[in-house]
Chain A
Amino acid sequence: MSQVRAALVVAGVDMRRRMRNRSFLIQAVLGPLVLAVVISLAFGGEGGIDTTVGVVDADGSALSSAFTESVTGADAGGLHFESVESADAARRLVDDGDISGAVVVPAGFADSLTGDDPRDLDVLSTPDAPIGGQIARSVAEGLAGRTNAARLAAATTAASGGDVPAADALADLELPIEIARHSAGEETSPAAYFAPSMGILFLFLTTGMVARGLLEERRTSILARMRSAPVGTSAILAGRCLSTVVLGVASLGVVWAVTASALDADWGAPAGVLALIVATVLAVAAIGGLVAALARTEQAADSFATVVTFVLALIGGNFVAVADMPHALRQLSLLTPNGWALRGFAELSAGRGAPSDVLVHVGVLLGWAIVIGALAVRLLPRRLEAS
């Protein structure tokens, strides 16, 4: 019983000390908030795209001018199309960054369609502006698809013994299947993904500070002095663990509250969010404990925590949204607690999931907490008592 009380006292003292410490507040609360704001600003607004794609009509045929007109008339949001004099001019504009890509309809394009050697369409792009290049390509593929369909229509009609329609009629051929884009979930603000993501990143960094703190207390013999009272190492560790978890939950909770009210980031079902936050904090705290157990000096703990933090964050999807990663990296992200936590948060926000939808995520995170925590509990007393 007295050991439990001792643990609570240790936890209370630790919490008070860290609440008074500006570094903790900066790292646990201010850091993630600032980054969530930066991300929201970066991706806020109208689709975030502002790009101009050029269209070159070197053909001058009815078909190519109809194409140019339809495309340049289709400005949407931040996406603009602009008619450009020649392919060389377009090349210069793309090179100078004035337009982000261009579609070139070459001279003789319309005339070549009935022959055996149709002219190709050219798309100019630059690696500096990948999105503009993709848009230009998509537009060009659309035209190519329609002309290929027209050619097939002419050939099929001829082979069936029918009267091949005039070129003009074929040029107007509409493809019967269109692709409609759907979102896989609710349109959520980017803050809804990146707020938990940055919260988790800084949670890792703060637990690095816990490791440093433990080692500092060992070095300055504070731990030894505490043990001279009838307080066991396990009571001290339990206390520190409790304060770390409480503060971690509080810090993610503050990020949640602020981003939800100020940045319009809807994290989803509160019960599910809370369960995920607690499970995430436990997993991260366990990793922090292991770092403290493995590091010999405070500096080593810092470096070790930094490496673990950034590697897990990078693989887990804290910097690059999981969906934007190459496929192999996505699979790899399932080996990190970050990957599971972020998927869980996404399931609640974008997926509008019920709390029961994140049971698996919570379970995996608790698994991390138990396995890594058990290792830390085995190793830590040895490290902390050996002073």
Chain B
Amino acid sequence: MIRAGVAVAAIAGNEMRRVARDRIVLVLTLALPVVIIVVIGSTFGSMGEAVPVGLVAHDDSPAATALTDALDASDGLDVEAYDSLDELRRDVRVASVTAGVIVPEGYGAAVDTGDAVEVGLIVSPSSNGAAAVRPAVEAAVADEAARLAAARVAVDNGAVGRAEALATAERLAPDLPRTVVHREQVGDDQAEGVGQFSYVAPSNLVLFTFINTVMVGALIASDRKQGLVRRMLATPHGAGTIAAGLGAAKLAFALVQSMLIVLVGTLLFGVDWGDPWGAAALVVLFALVSTAAGVLVGAVVADAEQAQSIAAPVAIAMGMLGGCMWPLEVVPPVMRTIGHAVPHAWAMDAWQALVLDGADIGAVGADLAALTGFAAVLSLLAAWRLRVALTR
């Protein structure tokens, strides 16, 4: 037993030295997740800035100018004037502005007669990126609409003219008490500032740990092809011991990689990964799952090239199904169910509970149990296939 343990450690150590010697491989594979989190972290850090919005005015009445000014003055919007609607639509499509506002022809006339009028908001067809813009545009438009509605009521019920009523409304509006919408986040002690990055950081951790670990694990195929692993069988150690040694090396790799992402996220971008025990359990379990999946791929494919070509699409598809690229909230219920057939979905559920809801390890017990199940089943499968591949 002890001898087997020593052998496992020796094989794993040797494996890691082999990888470490190829410094480029080591740096690149460990650096990739870090580079990715740095790129995402720094861009998401700039999210508080004003959003560029294009505006086409088909109407040059004073009312239209007032609306444009109101939009321009609103916090969070940076209004850019456009001459052509087609141009604006194109720029929204290619996302050089986040959304577009159309002030229709006859806006001023409609407003003057008190008719209802529609202001267009152009958003990209395939995205919900405009979600951030809508409240700001709506608020600015609502303020303008309130002024017009108030003036109309005053004209209908008093003896003043419209211009005077508008001026009065404008004068009174800033000092009037307002009903505001107060937002409350439910079920956590986290600050409101827990932003989008707190979703992005764990999802990248899960996605890229898996992709990388599976790709590295799959390299077992090339060792197999070179006969490296068969040669090890010449030693007095069984196939099980050798498989364990190889797996341990890959596991160590996955753990180092995860910890780097966690560290960089914490130190550079202030990501709060939640309850440390829960996070640690999650990182270790998911590393086990990824390693087992990688070794399994490495055991069933013919060579390194095949391993690489299968590992990438499989890992990316699993990440998509499991909610690493978009929250599973936005997909149809059946896809949510299907998504939980991959470990990523359970890991993401747990990370969301830990990071966003401030849950502790007990609260994510079910997710951790599911991941333990995945790890156990995949490890058994990997050990079995590797054994078959080694002794064949």
Contact = CB atoms under 8 A, between A and B. Distances in A.
Contacts of A73: none
Given A51-B329, A176-B111, A325 B129 contact: yes
B360 interface: no
B357 A181 contact: no
A362 interface: no
Interface string A3-23: 000000000000000000111
A209 B31 contact: no
A162 B160 contact: yes
Interface string B187-221: 11010001000110000000010011001000100
A174 B122 contact: no
A359 interface: no
Contact of B126 (A51, A145, A323): A323
A365 to B, nearest CB: 15
Given A181-B123, A185-B93, A152 B157 contact: no
Interface stretch (A256-264, A279-287, A302-310, A375-383): A302-310
B152 to A, nearest CB: 7
Nearest to B320: A38
A149 B149 contact: yes
A24 interface: yes
A119 interface: yes
A147 B94 CA distance: 38
A201 B316 CA distance: 11
Given A314-B39, A350-B125, A156 B154 contact: yes
Interface string A114-127: 01111111111111
Contact of B149 (A91, A118, A119, A174): A174
Contacts of A324: 127-129
B291 to A, nearest CB: 18
B357 A126 contact: yes
Interface centre among B52, B144, B173 (most CB of A within 10 A): B173
Given A48-B330, A161-B160, A179 B118 contact: yes
B141 interface: yes
A181 B102 CA distance: 10
Interface stretch (A25-33, A218-226, A232-240, A243-251): A25-33
Contacts of B183: 122-123, 125, 133, 137
B138 to A, nearest CB: 6
Interface stretch (A269-277, A293-301, A366-374): A293-301
A168 to B, nearest CB: 13
B182 A179 contact: no
Interface string A40-63: 011111001111000000000000
A111 interface: no
Given A35-B313, A100-B329, A179-B137, A156 B181 contact: no
A320 interface: yes
Interface in A95-150: 95, 100, 113, 115-134, 137-138, 140-145, 147-149
Given A126-B187, A131-B128, A184-B122, A176 B149 contact: yes
Nearest to A95: B187
A164 B94 CA distance: 49
A127 B188 CA distance: 10
B184 A156 contact: no
A38 B41 CA distance: 27
A65 interface: no
Given A35-B313, A42-B326, A343 B332 contact: no
A167 to B, nearest CB: 13
A372 B164 CA distance: 66
B117 A141 contact: no
A178 B117 contact: yes
Contact of B100 (A184, A299, A328): A184
A120 B154 contact: no
Contacts of A26: 306, 309-310, 313
B179 A118 contact: yes
A155 interface: yes
A302 B177 CA distance: 63
A323 B181 contact: no
A3 B145 CA distance: 75
Nearest to B90: A351
Interface stretch (B22-30, B240-248, B252-260, B373-381): B22-30
Contact of A296 (B24, B44, B148): B24
Contacts of A212: 305, 308
Interface in B294-347: 304-306, 308-310, 312-313, 316-317, 320-321, 325-327, 329-333, 335
B226 to A, nearest CB: 12
Given A149-B146, A175-B145, A177-B148, A163 B219 contact: no
B169 interface: yes
Given A148-B146, A161-B160, A324-B129, A314 B335 contact: no
Contacts of A157: 150, 153-154, 157-158
Contacts of B43: 325-326, 328-329, 332
B55 interface: no
B153 A177 contact: no
A161 B149 CA distance: 17
B215 A145 contact: no
A240 to B, nearest CB: 16
A371 to B, nearest CB: 22
B180 interface: yes
Contacts of A304: 24, 28
Nearest to A186: B125
B25 A300 contact: yes
Given A39-B320, A324-B129, A120 B153 contact: no
B98 to A, nearest CB: 7
B169 A152 contact: yes
A207 to B, nearest CB: 12
A173 interface: yes
Interface centre among B145, B165, B327 (most CB of A within 10 A): B145
Interface in B166-185: 168-169, 172-173, 176-185
A63 B153 CA distance: 19
B125 to A, nearest CB: 4
B95 A347 contact: no
21 contacts: A27-B313, A42-B320, A42-B330, A123-B183, A125-B185, A127-B199, A133-B183, A149-B142, A152-B147, A152-B150, A154-B153, A156-B151, A159-B168, A160-B164, A161-B158, A176-B149, A177-B118, A184-B93, A297-B24, A300-B28, A303-B29
Given A149-B146, A300-B24, 5 more contacts: A38-B321, A119-B179, A149-B142, A170-B153, A329-B43
Interface of A: 21-24, 26-27, 30-32, 34-35, 38-39, 41-45, 48-51, 91, 94-95, 100, 113, 115-134, 137-138, 140-145, 147-149, 151-157, 159-165, 170, 173-188, 190, 192-193, 201-202, 205-206, 208-209, 212, 295-300, 302-304, 306-307, 310-311, 314-315, 319-330, 332, 343, 346-347, 350-351
4 tightest A-B CB contacts, nearest first = A162-B158, A31-B313, A145-B142, A149-B146
